[in-house]
Amino acid sequence: MTQTVLVINSGSSSIKYQLINPETGDAIAKGIVERIGEELGEITHTYAGDVTSEERAIPDHEVGMREVLRLFDEKGPALSTAGIVAVGHRVVQGGKYFAGPALITDEVRNLIEQLCPMAPLHNPAHLKGIDVARDLMSDIPHVAVFDTAFFQQLPAKTSTYALNAQVAETYAVRRYGAHGTSHQFISGEVAKFLGRDDLKQIVMHLGNGASVSAVKNGQPIDTSMGLTPLEGLVMGTRTGDIDPAVVFHLARQGGMSIDEIDHLFNKESGMKGLTGETDMRSVWKLIHNDEDHETQAKARVAMDIYINRLLKYVGSYTAELGGLDVITFTAGIGENDWNVRRELAEALAPFGVKIDLEKNDGRIGEPRIISTPDSSVLLLVYPTNEELAIAQQALTLL
Ligand code: AMP
């Protein structure tokens, strides 16, 4: 019988799930429970081309998970005959404990709980999903796959801040990275796609959250996210790199609390803070709107900041890698926004990077090379698939 993995990504008010065949990569069924805890929640389940959408109150994750199981029962495929060999749970923060996927025992569950202060928005939400799913599907092994695991291999020189060593040790302050499941998946797929293991790669995971990594011969050597996903690139709502003294300044001069600054940096900054828009498509609309020159100019500057940040990382990572073979673009912006790819490639033109504009245009959803044959660096678009990566990693433990 076909072996499948049920992948669960439990957020604070949502549960996303996919039933995956890890061998073929096919998503057999998928869905999302949204607005858990609100007056009216919604659950959408897709199987064999049929989409079922229902609105009802979903007071907590247990009810949400029961609804998922009910829809599998009613709309298919029946889980009892779907060949499920594991449930794979996405977990954002694995701290220093997890350098790979882990079979969820009570001990592992408690370690994920211990790490909640390091990921206060994510780990508690994952735990709700894990606890309920372990309860309701107790006869199937559950595996946690951590966003930070890949970057546990970072060398000390890029995982360590130049912070007082004792303070760093006491509070477990180091660079953990994030999006590691995607960076690991993409860098591995690119090596297969090009038929080479000895690659100096830059992987750009550009979504609403965005990060870039440098991978040499399959090993990560640097990444842009740090203790938390706030560090690094300009994002939909996050500042990315910023002088930490801005925090002192806003606290002292602006009388802002730590929670207010946390919210400002994580939720009200980045493209949203610069333009009022989070989505790149909306930012481009502002840039192309000739009727409102002031808004247009602001949006253009925001895009320049965004592209310039990418450029700085390409420069520094090329130096760290000792050269560069390939830049791969992935996630919502990386896969779909050909203007971002074009502007970055044009900024790299002095280094012999050449983009093929025809290949770059359009959204095909397939892995493809978008540089010209004589480009000094290969440019690739490669769709990420974190659910498949989680399913494949879960399978390695069985
Ligand atoms: P993700 O977090 O990977 O789901 O990416 C979501 C982001 O991708 C959105 O906020 C948009 O900024 C961006 N995005 C999605 N589709 C497009 C598109 N067709 N063109 C430009 N940006 C897009």
Alpha carbon nearest to ligand 1 atom 11, residue: 279
Q: pLDDT tens digits, residue range 371-396?
A: 999 999 999 999 999 999 999 999 99
Whether omega for the bond prior to residue 77 falls within 30 degrees of 0, making it cis, is: yes
Alpha carbon nearest to ligand 1 atom 4, residue: 332
**What is the arithmetic mean of pLDDT over 354-376?**
93
Q: pLDDT tens digits, residue range 298-347?
A: 999 999 999 999 999 999 999 999 999 999 999 999 999 999 999 999 99
Q: Does this chain's domain 4-146 share its CATH topology with 196-386?
A: yes
* CATH architecture entry for 196-386: 2-Layer Sandwich (3.30)
| Angle formed by the axes of helices 245-254 and 258-267, nearest 10° | 120
Q: pLDDT tens digits, residue range 201-225?
A: 999 999 999 999 999 999 999 999 9
**Half-sphere exposure at residue 61, Cβ-oriented, CA atoms within 13 angstroms:** 23
Q: pLDDT tens digits, residue range 87-135?
A: 999 999 999 999 999 999 999 999 999 999 988 889 999 999 999 999 9
Q: Which atom of ligand 1 is nearest to the CA of 271?
A: 12
Quote the percentage of the chain above a pLDDT of 90: 96
**What is the arithmetic mean of pLDDT over 336-363?**
96
Q: pLDDT tens digits, residue range 224-238?
A: 999 999 999 999 999
Q: pLDDT tens digits, residue range 170-196?
A: 999 999 999 999 999 999 999 999 999
Could you say which of 2.40.10.10, 1.20.140.10, 3.90.850.10, 3.30.420.40 is the CATH number of the domain covering 4-146? 3.30.420.40
User: Rounded to the nearest 5°, which phi and psi values hold at 282?
Assistant: -70, -35
Residue 121: predicted pLDDT: 83
* pTM for this model (two decimals): 0.95
Q: How far apart are CA 55 and CA 236, in angstroms?
A: 29
Going from N- to C-terminal start, the domains of the chain cover: 4-146, 196-386
**Catalytic site includes residue 26:** no
Residue from 135, 147, 292, 325 carrying the catalytic annotation: 147
Amino acid at 314: V
User: Given a cut of 80, is residue 20 above it in pLDDT?
Assistant: yes
Residue 57: predicted pLDDT: 96
